[in-house]
Amino acid sequence: MPDFREYELFEVREPVSQTIPFVYNSPHSGRIYPPEFVESSRLRGTALRRSEDHYVDELFSAAPELGAPLLVANFPRAYLDVNREPYELDPKMFDGALPSYANIGSLRVAGGLGTVPRIVAENMEIYTGRLPVQEGLDRVENIYKPYHTALRRLIARTHVQFGFGVLIDCHSMPGNVRVAGHSERPDVIIGDRYGTSASADLSRVAVDIFQRMGFAAIRNKPYAGGFITEHYGRPSRGLHALQIELNRAIYVDEATLERRPQFPIVAQAVTSFMQQMAEYVENYAGEQPLAAE
């Protein structure tokens, strides 16, 4: 892409040797904003960064040391969202006709959060005007598809090597998220598409690990998992996908986007979570296959 000619679009942080059947993915933590993109936007500074999963790649950065690959997007979610179908595109955003196979009627498109987003958080419009339709299609061809190719390869390699695999899709959520029936705000939400993308035991263990560390952790509400979790989770084939949403208010100042003093503590807890998940799967998989709910 011309906007990213000087930057790596994404990176695969590989372990020296993959020793655990996990793949970690951070699709929304990209924070490279090319000048051309900024100039096309009506937003500046922290306003344009409201859609980021701030520093999630840093929180999960120990994955390669623990023996698992970590795929990290460098492009921002406001530019392209790979946690969508490839062609969830809003015709009102583009000059020119979209191809007939574009999904122009999804709820995410209607909300301004398609593959090429129209807004960032708080309903803030990104662009000053319409984009050429070829620009949107080029982002899908040159960023979205290579990113998912890299992710599929990591998952397939893991599956071949271990006989099964666990994808952990890593995200953050706003600090003001509240859940009906819960008196306290959630610190962590584990999503398994209501038991369809991963073993119910696996997601329950993930919740339990965070709870034992003192975090308010729940399952599926209000975030059950997006396109990546739904698309790659195939428990019947030994492929499990969990989404993790971390409450960003516990580690970042949401006004300034600066890391809070608690950031290293949260990162240490995330590393402990990854270690305990690996230990659980190593012990459990020897007894019986992980099963879907």
| Contact criterion met (CB below 8 Å) for 195 and 227 | no
Neighbours of 184 (CB within 10 A): 9
What was the pLDDT predicted at 287? 53
What is the predicted pLDDT for the residue at 293? 42
CA distances from 260 to 52, 250, 267, 280 (A): 16, 8, 11, 31
pLDDT of amino acid 145? 98
pLDDT of residue 178: 85
Bridge partners, residue 143, by sequence: none
Strands (E), 197-238: 217-219
Alpha-carbon distance of 64 to 288, in angstroms, equals: 26
CATH code for residues 2-83+142-285: 3.40.630.40
pLDDT tens, residue order, the chain (293 aa): 777 888 899 999 999 999 999 999 999 999 999 999 999 999 999 999 999 999 999 999 999 999 999 999 999 999 999 999 999 999 999 999 999 999 999 999 999 999 999 999 878 999 999 999 999 999 999 999 999 999 999 999 999 999 999 999 999 999 999 887 777 899 999 999 999 999 999 999 999 999 999 999 999 999 999 999 999 999 999 999 999 999 999 999 999 999 999 999 999 999 999 999 999 999 876 555 564 44
Q: Say if strands 119-120 and 124-125 run parallel, antiparallel, or are unpaired.
A: antiparallel
Which conformational region is residue 53 in: left (phi greater than 0), alpha (psi within -120 to 50 degrees), or beta?
beta
Measured CA to CA in angstroms, residue 155 lies from 69, 70, 159, 285 at distances of 10, 11, 6, 17
Strand (E) positions, the chain? 10-13, 22-26, 70-73, 94-95, 119-120, 124-125, 131-132, 165-173, 188-191, 217-219, 239-247
- Confidence at residue 268, expressed as pLDDT on a 0 to 100 scale: 98
Structure tokens at 188: 């962590």
pLDDT (0 to 100) of residue 290: 61
Residue 233, phi then psi, degrees to nearest 5 = -80, 115
